[in-house]
Every structure is written in C-alpha cells, then in structure tokens.
Structure 1
C-alpha cells in the first residue's frame, strides 16, 4: 500500500446521489485487485474516506470509484473537478478470492453502494470464462446504476424496495430459484446478515462497508469479532473481504 496522488479524469452523477469518478494513477491501477479500496483524503476533513474500487483499466492506468453523497465529506469529494488531484492510500485491504472457479457458477449479490466492488470482481471472473449471476438491490429505481454493465457479464436481476424498478422487495427474496456454486456479497450489514442466514451452508464471501480511522490497522476503529471466539479482525487490514463463516456480523 502506497500514498499516491490520483488525477481526476472524469466525474459525473450516474444515479440519484451517486457519483462515478475515474482516477488516473500508475501504481494503484497496476497493483489493485477486485475487492480492494482506496482511502481518500478530502479537503476540510480529518479522516480519510474508504471507497471501493469499481473498475480497473491497467492499459489506461485508471481506476473507477463510485460513492453516494451522504454527508459533507462525500459532498466535497463530488465537487472536485476534472484535472484536480486526490490524495489516497492504496490499494488497501484484502480482496476477493479468484482461484478455484473452473466450471463454476458464481452469484454476486450487491446492495446500494455495495454494488461497485462486485462489478470489478464480476469482470475479472467473466474474463476467466466463469458463469455470472448478479442480484442487485436498490432503494428505488432512481438509485439503480450499472445494470447494463452487469448484464454484459451474465444474468442480472434488479430488486428495489418499493418495486419502482425490477422486482419488488429485498435481494433475499429472489435467491431461492438460483443455482450457483459460490456467492460473493457486499452491502449494509443487515443485508449481509440476511444473506448469510439464508445461504447458510453455501460457500460464500462477504465484503464489509465500514467507517475507518487510520485505514492501515493501527487504530482498531473497524474491528469485527471472529466466529471462533478467538479475538477480532481488522476490516481495513484483514478485510474488507471475509469468508461468510469467518466473522460474526
């Protein structure tokens, strides 16, 4: 993990309160893997913002991040202009496991801003010829993004809480009829709890969204207990990806 300067190549709103930003940096674009994040400094704010990497283009030396405008920090980040630079630590954390998928069908389940890292993962798996099924949950149709990108990877089901777009309900409501070998999921903790409960016994991995302090494992601000009762894991350093049965949500 390095401290890097990333130049903003593009920035635009792609759904309600949701910004897509493309950042240019040789080191991070070269070394980042699906599931990792960048820890960004935002002007006027003490703590960095952890934002997952939604896409990597090694040829153009860029990464893509998506974030939701939910407070003063992300509002300020959204105001940055093309050509400006953002200070970041990265690539940070441990990402998704990509090996041992030969002939497998992989289920991706994302909720809200937990969707972006699954796109990066899905692209990497699809490039290996792996069958992808994606279930993406959003509050309403106004928040839906990347539907076309996921459909290019395989079967994609959109679910909204109010039924204003796609299926009505929660992501767990559409899982019963899906046949898959392993699942990967990212989203708010209540969603992860519901999914791991419903899919108990299935091989799966979760990626946790969490506010962080230092982002390098020194401050213990983002710990989670492990299921064997033997202490804690640091989400920023040991995660954000864990086996579904490794940690206690």
Structure 2
C-alpha cells in the first residue's frame, strides 16, 4: 500500500452522473489483481472527513497510470468530480484482495456479471482474462440507457448482453433475467454490483464457481475500524465475519452472507 498525491490526467463524464478519471503515479506499479481499490481523499478541507473507496477499472504499469470510474452522488464524490487535469489527489492504494484467476482454465467460458457502478472492476478483470485467451461473456445491468457506459470496451473482450430496468436499452429486467432468458452457460461466474443482484445470482446458480465483489461504505479502508464487516454464511454463532476492505472486497461465492 502506498499513500501518494496522484496526478489527474483526465476526469470526464461518460454517462449520467458517472465519471472516468485517469491517474498517474507510483500506485499502478503495486496493483497485482483486478478488483483492488483506492481510498481517495475528496478535498483538503475538514469536510467531507472520510475518504471514498473507488474500484480500479484498469491499470497500466508501463505508463504508470490507472483508470477509475465512479458515480458522483454525494458531497465527497461531487468534490472528486470537480477535480481538473493537472490537479493532484491524495490516494491510498492499492487496497483489498481482488479477483484471483489462477484457477481459470484456458478452455473455460467466464461470465462477467455487473450492475451499475459495479461494472468497472469487471473490465479490468476481463482484460486479464482476454490476455490468457479465455472466452469472456459480459452481462451488464443498468437502471436506464443514460446510465450505461463502456459499450465498445466490453465488446472488445467478447460477447456482451445489456439490460436496463426500464427497458430503454438492451433487455428489460435484471442481469439474472438475461442469463436465464438467453440460457447463458459458463464454467466460472464473476460478479460485482448491488447486493440484491448478487443474491439473485447466487440463488439462481447455487453451484457457480468464481467470485463476487461487494460494494460497501468504508471508514479506514485498511481493516482497522470494523465499519464494513459482513457475516459469513452458515455461522450458527453469528459472530464470524469478514472485513470487506481487507478480507475482500472479492470473496468466493457462498462465503459471505448476502442481505
């Protein structure tokens, strides 16, 4: 983990309330798995006090640059969206455990299932899978057409299915609806998105191999404050838990309780 003032190379809106930011510094050299995240200080002022966890979308060690995609929804992310090219931003990273693809075989078909702002870390995962020659199918869900992004980039990875809750783009419905309707088969399933989406996938595909990534509010981002704990499944004591920031944010299917 490094704490550094990363240089902003671009910070542009790519969908409704969605921004793509490119950062330059030493942290890209330390990234070792897709799905890791940054903890970003939003301003040099006293408030907002807490950093914001932002998933790494893609990473380029040769250029010393990485890309993040975030939603500008609250005060903190609004401050980040107002940053300009050439500005610096205080960043801790890379943090957390990402997607481990060592057990993915070259002959496997891998489905990337993403929802909303859970889509970005799956793009970096898709890039790594493509490098290994693995067949990738992406199923991406959004609320409405104006919230969709990265169409061309995911198309470069393989076949893509889009869905929106209101039906304004792609299939109408959820990621799980699309996978059932299209009878999409897979050897491994990797997912990131809202908990209801992840729970639906886990219930529908109870034998799935792969992993999921949780989106969670965090305090410290390094496992010290216990603000982002989640319980494990099938724990009769109710006292066994995982920290999303340090044990995760990526977990094997059926390890943590999805509520």
Do Structure 1 and Structure 2 share a fold, with TM-score over 0.5? yes
Tell me the equivalent position of 1:29.
28
Q: How many Å apart are 1:98 and its aligned residue?
A: 1.2
Counterpart position of 1:187: 193
What is aligned with 1:141? 145
In structure 2, the partner of 1:6 is 6
The 2-side partners of 1:124 and 1:4 are apart by 26
Per-residue deviation, 1:100: 2.0
Q: Following superposition, which runs of at least 4 residues in structure 1 exceed 3 angstroms of deviation?
A: none
Cα deviation, 1:183-213, whole Å, max 9, x if unaligned, reads: 0000011111111111111113110000100
TM-score for the superposition, normalised by structure 2: 0.94
In the alignment, what sits opposite 2:93? 90
Give the SS at the match of 1:122: helix
Q: CA deviation at 1:228?
A: 4.0
Structure 1 residue 143: deviation in Å?
0.6
2:81 aligned partner: 78
Equivalent positions of 1:209-228 (< 5 A) are 209-228=215-234
> Which whole-Å CA distance do the structure 1 matches of 2:91 and 2:163 have between them?
33
Find the partner of 1:202 among 208, 223, 230: 208
Q: Distance in 2 between matches of 1:76 and 1:89?
A: 17
Please name the residue that 1:242 is paired with: 251
CA distance in 1, matches of 2:103, 2:216: 28
Length-normalised TM-score, structure 1: 0.98
Q: Which whole-Å CA distance do the structure 2 matches of 1:53 and 1:216 have between them? A: 16
Equivalent position of 1:60 in the other structure: 63
Q: Does 1:16 align with 2:19?
A: no
Q: Distance in 1 between matches of 2:103 and 2:197?
A: 26
SS of equivalent residue, structure 1 residue 20: strand
Question: 1:99 corresponds to which residue?
Answer: 102
Cα distance in 2 between the residues matched to 1:6 and 1:112 = 26
Q: How many residues align?
A: 248
Secondary structure in structure 2 of the residue aligned to 1:219: coil
Instruction: Note the residue ranges of structure 2 that are not aligned, 5 or more in a row.
Output: none
Local SS of the residue matching 1:195: helix
Please list, as runs of the form range in 1=range in 2, the aligned pairs for 1:163-182 lying within 5 A after superposition: 163-176=167-180, 177-182=183-188
